[in-house]
């Protein structure tokens, strides 16, 4: 089934089905992205901005923080879901670190739809394996209380 979308309304809840696959999103992992998002989330831990100190602490380089990973998982789903959907829950576990110079590719699949809520299973993988895995749940206000 084709999903109906308009620029202002976004994806329609009525046309989402369990099993829908989201388009992949490749996110280049630049030093600027890792440092700026750590600062934006007020995470001043040195392993997120200082490569030398990160290496002294046993890492191969500085790496992305979990707050950024949460935000990127939410962004991946809301970019697909559209502006009318709001994030209700992000539930992820971290795996392989996101180091600068790599790419994280986000994939997702709709695993549940009920009462205006859509749950998407998400995976963010880089060259080392899965950086994050879990789910993001979004709500469609006009559809809340509506059975799937």
CA distance 148 to 131: 31
Mean pLDDT within 131-146: 88
Q: Give percent of the chain above pLDDT 70.
A: 89
Query: What are the pLDDT digits (tens) for 87-101?
Result: 999 999 999 999 999
Q: Using an 8 Å Cβ cutoff, are 134 and 93 in contact? A: yes
Domain ranges of the chain: 5-143
Domain 5-143 matching CATH 1.10.10.10: the answer reads no
CA distance 25 to 18: 20
CA distance 105 to 123: 8
Q: Tell me, what's the pLDDT at 43?
A: 78
Q: Tell me, what's the pLDDT at 61?
A: 96
Provide the 8-state DSSP code for 13. Answer: G
Q: Using an 8 Å Cβ cutoff, are 81 and 90 in contact? A: no
Would you state the torsion angle of the CA atoms of residues 38, 65, 123, 85, taken in this order, to the nearest 10 degrees?
A: -40
Q: What are phi and psi of 78, to 5 degrees?
A: -70, -30
pTM: 0.88
Q: Tell me, what's the pLDDT at 50?
A: 87
Task: Give the H/E segment covering residue 24.
Answer: strand 21-29
Q: How far is CA 49 from the centre of its chain?
A: 21
Query: What are the pLDDT digits (tens) for 11-37?
Result: 899 999 999 999 999 999 999 999 999
């Amino acid at each position: 089934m084709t999903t109906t979308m308009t620029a202002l309304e976004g994806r329609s809840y009525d046309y989402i089905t369990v099993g829908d696959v989201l388009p992949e999103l490749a996110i280049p992992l630049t030093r600027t992205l890792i440092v700026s998002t750590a600062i934006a989330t007020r995470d001043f831990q040195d392993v997120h901005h200082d490569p030398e100190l990160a290496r002294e602490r046993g890492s191969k380089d500085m790496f992305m923080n979990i707050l950024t990973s949460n935000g990127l998982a939410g962004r991946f789903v809301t970019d697909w879901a559209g502006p009318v959907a709001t994030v209700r829950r992000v539930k992820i576990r971290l795996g392989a670190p996101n180091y600068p110079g790599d790419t994280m590719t986000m994939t997702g699949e709709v695993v549940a739809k009920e009462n205006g809520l859509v749950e998407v299973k998400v995976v963010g993988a880089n060259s080392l394996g899965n950086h994050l895995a879990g789910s993001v749940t979004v709500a469609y206000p006009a559809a809340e209380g509506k059975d799937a």
